[in-house]
Structure 1
Amino acid sequence: AFANVAAFQRFDPAAPHTSRCVDEDLNRVWADETLFGPRDSVELRRARQLQPFVDAADLLLDIHSMSEPCRPLMVCGTQDKNAAFARRLGVPADLLIDTGHPAGLRLIERGGFGDPASPRLALLVECGQHWERAAEDVAIDTLVRFLHLTGIVDDHWAATRTRLPLPTEQRLVRVTEAIVARSADFHFLVPTDGLGVVLQAGTPIAQDGDQVWCTPYDNAVLVMPSTAHVKPGNTMVRLGRFEPL
């Protein structure tokens, strides 16, 4: 399913970031109390259309791109079972287990996808920056491999449509905390390369008014840092550590 059609129809090359959503982030509205509550928005209407299909799915791949340049990243939600599924998929090189989003429940955490005891599995692939040509190849390659792994297509069909080689190895980043903007004055104090590593604990990395955030440990990984959508309550970056697989 093509998810946020209304936002896509508003796309303006002169202001590309403004078409990310119409009223709110479509990937923060998947809790029952939000979906079935009284609130209304363009994104909620679309989520309510998609909800029956999502709830009927056993396996789900949510395909995204990012506001800032970054290597492709497989977001496995909060569950190790999804990271194991990503290892079977084999792509991309970097996997992520995080702590969820304070702004709302994501699609890959809805229902059984977020329950460690459920056999339902969900992955979210961040393919690269929105307008990078390489992100298209990552999206199609990941989808083809997902369809093959789940038995929907045969070996020959998949082999003739994959676009990228498998990485030589995969690494897991486990997020320990998120940094959330308190105001529109939020800004970073260090270079913000996606999946960049800050070597020393205690390094100041971001500031919002009197609040200064420092790295809590050595070799802290900056996961999807961005100031493209700064407003109170938005996650600006997540901090994590590489773990052996």
Structure 2
Amino acid sequence: MNRPIQPAQHLQSQVPVELQAPDIRPYRRVSAAAGTPAIDYLVRLESGKPGPHVLIQALTHGNELCGAIALDFLLQEDVRPLQGVLSLVFANVEAYHRWDPENPHGNRFCDEDYNRLWGDDVLKGPRDSIELRRARELVNYIDSADYLLDLHSMSAPCEALMVCGVREHGGLKAVAMTQGIGLPRWLMMDTGHSAGLRMIERGRFGDPRAKAVAALLEAGQHWERKSEAVARDASLRFLAYTGLIDRDWALSRCSLAPEQQRVIQVTEAVIAKTKSFQWLADYQGLEVIEHAGTAIAQDGDACLRTPYDDCVLVMPTRARFTVGNTMLRFGRIES
């Protein structure tokens, strides 16, 4: 006889803060090249030679420290492009400046999620917020990039993951780029986000016919030390892949070996329908559940079960239990 399902307690990340938030104030106004837009915390480095515009963004969310550490590392190493233009962007600095290691969940954003605002209907609409003002300030510059790497981290301890976007809207070219970079191990194409357009899906990035390509790195748990190494190494390998920096110079500063990569196709996102959503076990993310029909969560009276064999649990949310929030994505391993 089957035992009754007992819901696990809501899981808030209790990971200690192992990272030190860097002082980014010296980077408020760095670019001095002629024609450089006067935008705070945008560092533009020009080679003076033809080539692509390559952009790395950190601090899409204010409490995701590893990206800021990676950009600070590149600047401390005096990185310079061999061709084209390199742009390093510290995005949601208003949220970042509210960082408090005693309340590390408290400054993800100020008013709203900065990575749900990138549709023209929102950017050109009537709403106002701290995040929208910053997005409107940066959007034209973001649109000029040929390659974009957006550095993030996750609330729960989990292996690193490259979010490549929607298959038919730029996902396949982002997968190809990430395979050229060589890490992380897991690459994901998904179904987009119900709450709004992400930066990596915007304009040319989301057009499969355009050459511009973007991907979003989830480097691991927000404050675990390994997320710093993942963000740094991915950034270095990304710049080497695009030809902006010398490959040997980049690899000499990496500490992680390239991975045997696997591609996940998300088949559906699971949205919380009630305030009583509960996980039935302590899922960290990227677990492969062998059998279809395995119970994994309770949402009110409904039991959430895996839809097929060898189902990957992608980015289960452990910190934000609200109606309408994406709690989980189901994925199939393609390769």
TM-score by length of 2: 0.70
Counterpart selection for 1:110 from 195, 202, 210: 202
Task: Report the 3-state secondary structure (helix = DSSP H, G, I; strand = E; otherwise coil) of the residue aligned with 1:151.
Answer: coil
Task: Please state how far the C-alpha of 1:238 moved relative to its aligned partner.
Answer: 0.5
* AA partner of residue 172 (structure 1): V
Task: Please state how far the C-alpha of 1:241 moved relative to its aligned partner.
Answer: 1.2
Counterpart selection for 1:33 from 88, 113, 121: 121
Deviation per residue, 1:164-205 (Å, 9 max, x gap)? 1111x1101110000112233222123312101222111222
* AA partner of residue 208 (structure 2): P
> Is 1:196 matched with 2:326?
no
Counterpart selection for 2:156 from 68, 72, 85: 68
Distance 2:276 2:142 in 1: 37
* AA partner of residue 301 (structure 2): D
Deviation per residue, 1:5-27 (Å, 9 max, x gap)? 11111122222112111111111
Deviates further, 169-178 or 42-51: 42-51
Distance 1:128 1:61 in 2: 15
The 5 A counterparts of 1:119-198 are 119-167=211-259, 169-198=260-289
Note the aligned Cα RMSD (angstroms).
Answer: 1.2
Deviation per residue, 1:57-112 (Å, 9 max, x gap)? 11100000100000011110012111111111111111101111111111110011
Counterpart selection for 1:100 from 184, 192, 202: 192
For these two proteins, the number of residue pairs brought into alignment is 243
* Residue number in structure 2 paired with 1:47: 135
* AA partner of residue 139 (structure 1): A
Task: Please state how far the C-alpha of 1:212 moved relative to its aligned partner.
Answer: 2.6
* AA partner of residue 211 (structure 1): A
5+ residue gaps, structure 1, are: none
* AA partner of residue 12 (structure 1): D
Task: Please state how far the C-alpha of 1:163 moved relative to its aligned partner.
Answer: 2.4
TM-score by length of 1: 0.95
5+ residue gaps, structure 2, are: 1-88
Deviates further, 59-68 or 233-242: 233-242
**Which of these two proteins has the greater Rg computed from alpha carbons?**
2
* AA partner of residue 189 (structure 1): L
Indicate if the aligned counterparts of 1:202 and 1:214 stay in contact, CA closer than 8 A.
yes
Percent identity over the alignment is: 54
The 5 A counterparts of 1:6-17 are 6-17=94-105
